[in-house]
Chain A
Amino acid sequence: MINKNNYETFFMSYIDNELNAAEIAAVEAFVLTDSKYTEELALFEKTKVHTPSTESIEMEDKIFLYRFPEMQASLDTNFKKSLYKKEAPIRKIVFTPNLMRASFTIAALLILFIGIQLFKTNTAIKEKASVVSTNNASTHSKQTENTILPSKELDASLKNSNAAIVSSQPVNKKINLINNSVIEPSTNSVIDIEKHSASNHINSNIINAEESQSALLVKLHETQIRSSAMETVSNEEVKNIPVILSSYQEINTEQEDRTINIGMLEIDGAAFRGITRRVSALLKRNKIEKEK
């Protein structure tokens, strides 16, 4: 029942329309007992917010809240499904014993093929090297084959050697004697040499001239002996003479036109060096920039 202690609760329930008819009547009777309660109920009434008639807060864009059947997209399910990209099937490779064997044989064949190719390239390089060495050897042999040279060539060589001789008169006399005994045309050259006076290099030239002359004499004797012997020696015997063509090629790493062989590949040495230099320069530049 409403009294002095709980009247506020009843008043608030009254203004909130949460009281039944009997309680409402009791509250109205209680208020009439004292004007103080009338004023207090009026104050509670003022706390109630009444919706004013002028207030017209309406939501904008209300049209978007409506649902019309036309607005609802009705796409065919098959079409929707077709929009999804199908995943590619994952192929699982199971290594069966047969497959393992096959793969091993293929790998072995590949290794064998690569090995053969490498062997071929190595042999080709060696052959090239041997050809080069034989050429060198042939040029060298030309120098040593003075013994087999014909007499005319010998004369020419002797002339050249005589021309190089600058010596004093006693030596020239000796040479003249030798030359006259063996070769006649050399006398003219000796005479020419005699016309030239002796220089300050006499002593050294004498020694050189003596050595060369003695060597020449030995060679001349050998040629005479061999030429006479060669006539008698048969062709079969010539064939039996062993020819040793062993030579060693020294590779010059600083040579710019050198080619680098890696398997079947031939790389130009100069180009390769240029590339390496550029790469190193680039790396250095990057390092400097990073340090900056």
Chain B
Amino acid sequence: MTDLEFNICVDDYSDGVYRFILKISKNKEDAKDIVQTAFEKLWVNREKVETLKAKSYLFTVAYHLMIDQLRKENKIVMTDSFDETTQTVSQGSSELKQLLLQAINNLNPTQKSLILLKDYEGYSYQEIGEIMQLSESQVKVYLHRARLILKNKLTHVEKMSA
């Protein structure tokens, strides 16, 4: 990977990685640090990492850094609170969307990461498995469980509103 290719990776993937981490960690500074570290690692291993796999590499490194960070801060159990960033994201969206984001926030980090990587970044089961070091079938099962939880929540809210 050349300097130019690396800078293109920064242009293309830095926002995506930052958003992914911010959605889960909910801390801007932590997310920045994690993205910085991920790109630092990519730079150090630029000779080994292919340009086509740079995105996957960045997400993988960032995901594991985030998990380590959450373990350090003992934040594995997520709260129901809706932080500022999520609120700004949901501005202008429908009530159902807000409920969905709230429901996602209640998921555990693995399920949340799976949803975000699939819906936001559009990764396939195989790619998600590579990033999160899970098998394809595991990704499928975990993701389906997460979607069932979300579906049940939405159904419950719709019934309550009706």
* A residues with CB within 8 A of B: 8-9, 12-13, 15-16, 18, 43-44, 46-52, 54-55, 57-62, 64-69
A68 to B28, CA, bound (A): 26
Residue numbers in A under 8 Å from B155 (CB-CB): 43
Would you mind naming 13 contact pairs between A and B with Cβ atoms under 8 Å apart? Answer: A16-B125, A18-B124, A18-B140, A49-B101, A49-B116, A49-B120, A52-B97, A57-B15, A59-B32, A62-B10, A66-B7, A67-B3, A67-B7
Instruction: Say whether A18 contacts B154, CB under 8 Å.
Output: no
Chain A residues touching B, majority SS: loop
A43 to B99, CA, bound (A): 13
Write the chain A residue with the least CB distance to B18: A59
A16 to B119, CA, bound (A): 8
The segment out of B49-57, B63-71, B87-95 that lies at the interface is: B87-95
Instruction: Say whether B144 contacts A46, CB under 8 Å.
Output: no
Chain B residues touching A, majority SS: helix
Min Cβ gap B105→A in Å is 11
Instruction: Say whether A9 contacts B151, CB under 8 Å.
Output: no
Given contacts A46-B96, A65-B10, A68-B3, contact A57 B18 (CB under 8 A): yes
* B residues with CB within 8 A of A: 3, 6-7, 10, 14-15, 17-19, 22, 28, 31-32, 35-36, 39, 43, 85, 89, 91-93, 96-97, 100-101, 104, 115-116, 118-120, 124-125, 140, 143-144, 147-148, 150-151, 154-155
Residue numbers in B under 8 Å from A12 (CB-CB): 143-144, 147
Given contacts A49-B116, A62-B10, A67-B43, contact A54 B100 (CB under 8 A): no
Instruction: Say whether B100 contacts A46, CB under 8 Å.
Output: yes
Q: Which of A47, A59, A62, A66 contacts B147 (CB 8 A)?
A: A47
Instruction: Say whether B125 contacts A18, CB under 8 Å.
Output: yes
Min Cβ gap B145→A in Å is 10
A43 to B149, CA, bound (A): 12
Write the chain B residue with the least CB distance to A49: B119
Given contacts A46-B100, A49-B119, A57-B85, contact A65 B147 (CB under 8 A): no
Min Cβ gap B21→A in Å is 10
Residue numbers in A under 8 Å from B39 (CB-CB): 65
Given contacts A47-B100, A59-B14, A66-B7, contact A16 B32 (CB under 8 A): no
